[in-house]
Amino acid sequence: MDRGPGLSENAATPSFSSAQQPAAEAPLPAGDQTNWVDGTVFLKAACDDLAVGELIHGENFSLFEAMSALEIMDPKMDAGMTTSGYKTVEEAIERGAAPVDLTISQIIDVMDHLLSCEATWHKGHSLAQTVFSCLYMLKLDRTTPNVLLHAYCKITRATCSLVRTAIVLSDIHEEEDFVTFGFGLPLDAEGDSKCLASLNAVEEVLARQLRGCKGLTSGKKKSTEEVEPLQDDPELEEQFCEALLCRLRFRKYLYHAYLYMDKPLGRGSEMAQKHIAKALTELNAIRASSAFLASRRSVKESLGSVTTASGQPALGFDESVNRRLLAPTPPRSIDILSWNETLKYFEQLLNDLNRICSLSSNPELEDLLQYIVDVQKSQPDLVARARLQLRLLQDGKLLGLETIADGLCRAIKMQNRPAKETETYNFLNQCGRWMLQLIRTMCTNPAWQRRKLGRFIQEWGSLLEQAEFSREASLRKAGRDGNEEKTGWTDDAVMGWAAESLSWVVTHFLMLGFELELYSPNEYCMVYWYLDHSLMTLMQYKLVKERRLHEAEFARVNDTSPESAKKKGKKKRPGTVKPIANKEIRFTPSVLLLQCHINLCKGLIWMLVALTADRKIAHRETVFNSELERFTQRFELLHKIVVPEPMTYLDYREAIRHRSQSIKELYQLSYDHFSAVQQHLQELNQVVSKATKMESVSKTQRLADIRQMEQVAARNRVVLQIAHQAGPGDNLRVTFDFSQHPCFAVAVVKKT
């Protein structure tokens, strides 16, 4: 054997004395004349003999073999090869794998399995092994005699083309999200734009047939000679008609929704919402028809594995028929989503699309970013996120209506745009490019979003330095020293907006770590402490902005200049101007939400400190890194920027050190913060309920956040009372989970 670096001879060739030899055991059952022997004892002895960092390297076992032997438990990543199935479409058709003359039950099975394949394609598998594993889709002209099958397959192909185009245009997908390769498959065929004509014709015939069936059951005389029955049993005709109609109408309304969402400037959003509502209604009808179709199968199978409503395998599908079209890798054997998973997926997709269409046409930039965060709370898949990105950015403009520079001026509250070739103008242009990229990044999946935000934080830090240079240059031009007290509203707004934006990104970056489960329980206290620091910084800039806005509005209303009097048509009396009071400033929902988050962080910080000091949290010693090293690994990126102010490990240890406070006082301190959360949530609930300009998605999500935070605060207060009454010592064991809120933990008490 070859030895790796630092490998000792004993480690390379472990040996056993006769005393160490395990007792002879009966050999395991063998097959193909192979005798298997249990090597567990040998492997354990070899592992015990190896030091940390050493390994055994065999000559015939390279990195390639090691990676090939691993199973990542993700069917999209694991390489597997199945040699069964047909090699070409022609071979499959010749052997009768795709008959055109199908019964109504078989047609419904094809529709259902094709819908499951489409959902599986959306989840990241290749088009060749999902939708175009359907032999009817590969040779669509063959299905012309079967008008039902032909119309359904044609609109399915047109819908897939719209989905693929939207994802390619948005360009926010990664390799694990979606496979955009067409593999030369007939996806964009001529005539698909007229797919609705054939679908409407078939729908009209089925609707007439359904009316005839209902007339017969109600005792009315209807002519049954106009429409040929779908099947032989008259008692089942109505149920089959309804099952077919809801499937065809679902495809039609989904296709209409995509078409209207493609209209520029959001002009089709209202009509898209109407078609989405109709599609959801038809989806419920499809779910209702599943019980009737499933009752007709003779063999009952597990609902988790079937891909059709009836539970019967669909005719005309073979995932290996496109094997030669795939990339030069072993064809992967994939699992198609089950029928129940397919229905749940499309239900969520339609709800996500409905939320995207509800966006108003003139939101503030701050509200727009919060809207993206709120939409992402429902964990939308790539198709919905691609539509979101296309809705937000059209031709490089916000919602296709406003340039990013105009949006920034509106966000910063600048009355006049700066002149070209000035420091402020260049700064705003750079901010605009950064903000466009930020919006695109916010539409990606959470893992990639956090990774890319890490790079943006560094870029935005350097942009802050440019903002400071811009402010000082503006002050110098006005004849003032840059070190004097800042009094210019425009200059302070530029600097304040840049710092506020960076603080918001840092806060979102840290909170995403909780949603992605990146932090270990040993790190909760330090992460909540740094998150609290970031939230406090963000709150500071927001309060300054709110006060300046009120002061500017107050000055405008009480302006006594002759020019203002002429505009208003009346003369102000001198001495009527009153100074603005703090109680006159009404905080926005975003400020109140920040206050709730801050109190939750502080409550959790002191709760963790108190429980640790009271020995009610198991302290896990780490072998490979210390607490200082973990702190550096988590926050090293944030030490490269100036806002929020970088905090060191010594700052953290000093902040959580309870000098003269007893454990009882720490419990009480945490309890008070959670009580303050309850008070702020009541105020936030009142403000959100009365808000008229808030986006409907954000309003709904804010009310949901309020309920979640109420649960976190209430449950943690109960745990604090239990821990205090239990007395000191390790008589209780407290753990944390995120069952109520994705970012703020809830304590769970167990007796030891």
Q: What is the Cα–Cα distance from 214 to 456, expressed in whole angstroms?
A: 62
The answer to whether the CB of 375 falls within 8 A of the CB of 356 is yes
Residue type, 50: L
The dihedral of CA 741, 745, 751, 752: what is its sign? Answer: positive
Q: What is the Cα–Cα distance from 381 to 393, expressed in whole angstroms?
A: 19
- Give per-residue pLDDT as tens, 156-215: 999 999 999 999 999 988 767 788 888 888 888 776 678 899 999 999 999 998 888 876
pLDDT (0 to 100) of residue 302: 56
- Give per-residue pLDDT as tens, 348-366: 999 999 999 999 888 999 9
Residues in the chain: 752
The dihedral of CA 88, 94, 100, 103: what is its sign? Answer: negative
Higher per-residue pLDDT: 568 or 474: 474
Q: What is the mean pLDDT of residues 292-303?
A: 70
The dihedral of CA 496, 499, 505, 509: what is its sign? Answer: negative
User: Which DSSP string do the residues of 588-609 spell out, in sequence order?
Assistant: PHHHHHHHHHHHHHHHHHHHHH
How large a percentage of the chain has pLDDT more than 70?
81
Higher per-residue pLDDT: 587 or 40: 40
Q: What b/e string do you get for 613-651 counting C-beta neighbours within 10 Å, with b at 16 or more?
A: bbebbeeeeeeeeeeeebbeebbebbeebebbeebebee
Residue type, 110: V
Quick one: how far is CA 222 from the chain centroid? Answer: 52
* Band of residue 485 on the pLDDT scale cut at 50, 70, 90: very low
Report CA-CA distances (Å) from 195 to 37, 164, 191: 63, 17, 7
> What SS3 state is found at 654?
helix
pLDDT (0 to 100) of residue 553: 74
Which of 254, 203, 248 lies closest to 107, judged by CA? 248
- Give per-residue pLDDT as tens, 230-265: 777 777 888 999 999 999 999 999 999 999 999 998
Which of 401, 370, 409, 380 lies closest to 693, judged by CA? 370
pLDDT (0 to 100) of residue 141: 93
CA dihedral 242, 248, 254, 260 (to 10 degrees): -110
* Band of residue 340 on the pLDDT scale cut at 50, 70, 90: very high
Residue type, 584: E
The model carries a pTM of 0.84
* Band of residue 674 on the pLDDT scale cut at 50, 70, 90: very high
Asked if the model's pLDDT at residue 23 lies above 80, the reply is no
- Give per-residue pLDDT as tens, 492-516: 677 888 899 999 999 999 999 999 9
Asked if the model's pLDDT at residue 675 lies above 80, the reply is yes
Tokens representing residue 335 in the block? 């699992």
Q: What is the mean pLDDT of residues 140-147?
A: 94
Domain assignments of the chain as residue spans, ordered by start: 2-69, 93-338, 539-556+588-620+649-752
284: CB partners within 8 A, 6+ apart: none
Q: What is the Cα–Cα distance from 582 to 555, expressed in whole angstroms?
A: 15
In the numeric block, the tokens 């060191």 are attached to 648
Q: What is the mean pLDDT of residues 103-109?
A: 95
pLDDT (0 to 100) of residue 64: 67
* Band of residue 668 on the pLDDT scale cut at 50, 70, 90: very high
* Band of residue 33 on the pLDDT scale cut at 50, 70, 90: low
142: CB partners within 8 A, 6+ apart: 93, 98, 100, 136
* Band of residue 660 on the pLDDT scale cut at 50, 70, 90: confident
DSSP 8-state assignment for residue 76? T
pLDDT (0 to 100) of residue 486: 42
Q: What b/e string do you get for 331-363 counting C-beta neighbours within 10 Å, with b at 16 or more?
A: bbebebbbbbbbbebbeebbebbbbbbbbeeeb
Higher per-residue pLDDT: 584 or 105: 105
The answer to whether the CB of 175 falls within 8 A of the CB of 447 is no
The answer to whether the CB of 108 falls within 8 A of the CB of 114 is no
Q: What's the mean pLDDT when you consider all of the chain?
A: 84
109: CB partners within 8 A, 6+ apart: 308, 310, 312, 313, 314, 315
Q: What b/e string do you get for 14-33 counting C-beta neighbours within 10 Å, with b at 16 or more?
A: eeeeeeeeeeeeeeeeeeee
Min mean pLDDT across 127-131, 470-474, 560-564 is at: 560-564
341: CB partners within 8 A, 6+ apart: 116, 119
pLDDT (0 to 100) of residue 52: 81
* Band of residue 216 on the pLDDT scale cut at 50, 70, 90: low
Q: What is the mean pLDDT of residues 75-88?
A: 62
Q: What is the mean pLDDT of residues 700-711?
A: 97
* Band of residue 29 on the pLDDT scale cut at 50, 70, 90: low
How large a percentage of the chain has pLDDT more than 90?
55
pLDDT (0 to 100) of residue 576: 44
Q: What is the Cα–Cα distance from 191 to 375, expressed in whole angstroms?
A: 36
Q: What is the mean pLDDT of residues 593-603?
A: 98
Q: What is the mean pLDDT of residues 723-751?
A: 93
Asked if the model's pLDDT at residue 599 lies above 60, the reply is yes
Q: Is 553 exposed, middle or buried (0-12, 13-18, 19+ CB in 10 A)?
A: exposed
The answer to whether the CB of 702 falls within 8 A of the CB of 377 is no
- Give per-residue pLDDT as tens, 719-735: 999 999 998 888 899 99
* Band of residue 303 on the pLDDT scale cut at 50, 70, 90: low
Q: Is 584 exposed, middle or buried (0-12, 13-18, 19+ CB in 10 A)?
A: exposed
The answer to whether the CB of 269 falls within 8 A of the CB of 359 is yes
| CA angle (21 as vertex; 18, 24 as ends), nearest 5 | 120
Which of 625, 603, 621, 642 lies closest to 457, judged by CA? 642
Q: What is the Cα–Cα distance from 582 to 498, expressed in whole angstroms?
A: 25
Q: Phi and psi of 25, rounded to 5°?
A: -115, 160
> What SS3 state is found at 751?
strand
In the numeric block, the tokens 């007339």 are attached to 215
pLDDT (0 to 100) of residue 9: 37
Asked if the model's pLDDT at residue 2 lies above 50, the reply is no
Three-state helix/strand/coil letters over 390-446? HHHEECCEECCCEEHHHHHHHHHCCCCCCCCCCHHHHHHHHHHHHHHHHHHHHCCCH
Asked if the model's pLDDT at residue 326 lies above 80, the reply is no
Beta bridge partners of 397: 394, 403
> What SS3 state is found at 8?
coil
576: CB partners within 8 A, 6+ apart: 558, 560
* Band of residue 443 on the pLDDT scale cut at 50, 70, 90: very high
Tokens representing residue 139 in the block? 């040779």
Asked if the model's pLDDT at residue 223 lies above 50, the reply is no
Min mean pLDDT across 6-20, 327-341, 456-470 is at: 6-20
